[in-house]
């Protein structure tokens, strides 16, 4: 499953490296993370990692395969 996460603000490169399984791309006023999520546990783990780093996920969506 491929997912996209839109995070508030510009995420520094070093912090984005905490998500090696996701690509990060800056967009106006947000940072876009996207990549493959293996299962539900992986998805919840990613969300917990965003939260632990103080990043606010504004939007999350599953992408077409």
Nearest to 59 by CA among 10, 5, 2: 5
Angle at 61 between CA 59 and CA 65, to 5 degrees: 155
pLDDT of residue 8: 97
Cβ(54)–Cβ(15) under 8 Å? no
Terminal-residue alpha carbon distance, the chain: 7
63: enclosing H helix or E strand: strand 57-63
- Provide mean pLDDT across the span 4-15: 96
pLDDT digits (tens, 9 = 90+) for 25-65: 999 999 999 999 999 999 999 999 999 999 999 999 999 98
């Amino acid at each position: 499953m491929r997912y996209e996460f839109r995070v508030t603000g510009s995420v520094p490169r070093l912090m984005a490296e905490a998500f090696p399984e996701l690509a990060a791309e800056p967009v106006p006023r947000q940072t876009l993370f996207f990549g493959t999520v293996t299962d539900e546990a992986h998805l919840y783990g990613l969300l917990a990692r965003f939260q632990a780093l103080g990043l606010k996920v504004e939007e999350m969506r599953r992408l077409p395969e």
